[in-house]
């Protein structure tokens, strides 16, 4: 079976909860002695504010393409057997899962490191956007991984984050990440450089920007 056939990538429409057992069953194999998982859930607070729910939007087709690229990168770095990743769209209430990753391998180190790499890359570069809804308002939020990558991008040379044996190493490359930056922009700012899929090319990375629709 080809490696890509051992990937299960899903972007779930609103009101479709993540079935964690489905993805664990997909990656389970008698050849593997380890399954590493990550579940991201909505917590009830942020920076002293009471969180009511999270709301997610995405370019689903491009998001799936980006996650597949991240899976290929993970396979090139670690000896993993199967990968499953799912992300919900729409409203995710407190306590429910918005994103789930499961990876199987013969030994735990490969599965653990690849799992951390996968979720970090999803948060940093896949075109999925999060709005936090509070008791006193709401705001679009960028993930910390994206903001860290944005800071690194200000250097003369972009850097690629590579995880090995539980440690974070940094290797220099001309560019990194499958999708570059993910930014919400207004139509007026995007009209001149939007391509046929509704994305923009921005510097210094070959970047995807979400075009905000009124």
Provide the pLDDT confidence category of residue 2 given band limits of 50, 70 and 90. confident
Is 130 annotated as belonging to a binding site? Answer: yes
Is 57 annotated as belonging to a binding site? Answer: no
More confident site: 201 or 65: 65
Does an H or E element contain 190, and which?
A: helix 187-190
Q: Examine the pLDDT at 116 and tell me if it is beyond 90.
A: yes
Nearest by Cα to 114 from 142, 81, 89:
81
Mean pLDDT of 145-169: 52
Domain definitions of the chain by residue range: 3-212
Could you tell me if 203 and 209 are in contact, meaning their C-beta atoms sit under 8 angstroms apart? no
What pTM was computed for the model?
0.73
User: Helices (DSSP H) in 28-77: which residue ranges?
Assistant: 60-77
**Which residue has tokens 């930056």?**
181
Is 75 annotated as belonging to a binding site? Answer: no
Q: Examine the pLDDT at 150 and tell me if it is beyond 80.
A: no
Q: According to the model, what pLDDT value does residue 183 have?
A: 53
Is 132 annotated as belonging to a binding site? Answer: yes
Q: Which two tokens stand for residue 98?
A: 């918005």
Q: Examine the pLDDT at 191 and tell me if it is beyond 70.
A: no
Identify the three-state secondary structure at position 73: helix
Strand-pairing partners, residue 40, are 99
Distance between CA atoms of residues 209 and 184, nearest Å = 6
Q: According to the model, what pLDDT value does residue 169 have?
A: 44
Q: Examine the pLDDT at 6 and tell me if it is beyond 50.
A: yes
Q: According to the model, what pLDDT value does residue 37 have?
A: 98
Q: Examine the pLDDT at 105 and tell me if it is beyond 50.
A: yes
Provide the pLDDT confidence category of residue 148 given band limits of 50, 70 and 90. low
Is 123 annotated as belonging to a binding site? Answer: yes
The tens digit of pLDDT for each residue in 163-182 reads 444 444 434 333 344 555 55
Mean pLDDT of 15-23: 97
Q: Examine the pLDDT at 210 and tell me if it is beyond 60.
A: no
Distance between CA atoms of residues 95 and 133, nearest Å = 14
Give me the percent of the chain exceeding a pLDDT of 70. 67
Q: Examine the pLDDT at 30 and tell me if it is beyond 70.
A: yes
Give me the percent of the chain exceeding a pLDDT of 90. 63
List, in order, residues 6 or more apart from 179 with CB less than 8 Å away: 62, 66, 69, 125, 126, 127, 207, 208
At the topology level of CATH, where does 3-212 sit? Aldehyde Oxidoreductase; domain 3 (3.90.1170)
């Amino acid at each position: 079976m080809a490696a890509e056939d051992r990937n299960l990538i899903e972007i779930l429409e609103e009101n479709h909860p993540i079935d964690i057992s489905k993805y664990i069953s997909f990656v389970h194999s008698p050849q593997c002695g380890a399954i590493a998982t990550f579940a991201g859930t909505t917590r009830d607070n942020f920076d002293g504010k009471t969180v009511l729910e999270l709301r997610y939007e995405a370019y689903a087709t491009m998001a799936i393409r980006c996650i597949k690229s991240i899976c290929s990168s993970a396979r090139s770095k670690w000896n993993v057997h199967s990968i499953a990743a799912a992300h919900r769209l729409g409203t995710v209430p407190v306590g429910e899962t918005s994103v789930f990753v499961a990876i199987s391998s013969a030994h735990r180190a490969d599965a653990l490191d690849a799992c951390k790499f996968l979720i970090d890359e999803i948060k940093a570069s896949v075109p999925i956007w999060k709005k936090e809804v509070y008791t006193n308002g709401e705001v679009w939020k960028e993930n910390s991984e994206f903001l860290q990558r944005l800071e690194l991008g200000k250097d003369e040379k972009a850097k690629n984050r590579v995880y090995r044996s539980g440690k974070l190493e940094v290797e220099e490359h001309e560019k990194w990440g499958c999708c570059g930056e993910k930014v919400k922009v207004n139509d007026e700012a995007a009209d001149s450089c939007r391509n046929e899929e509704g994305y923009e090319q921005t510097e210094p990375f070959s970047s995807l920007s979400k075009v905000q629709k009124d």
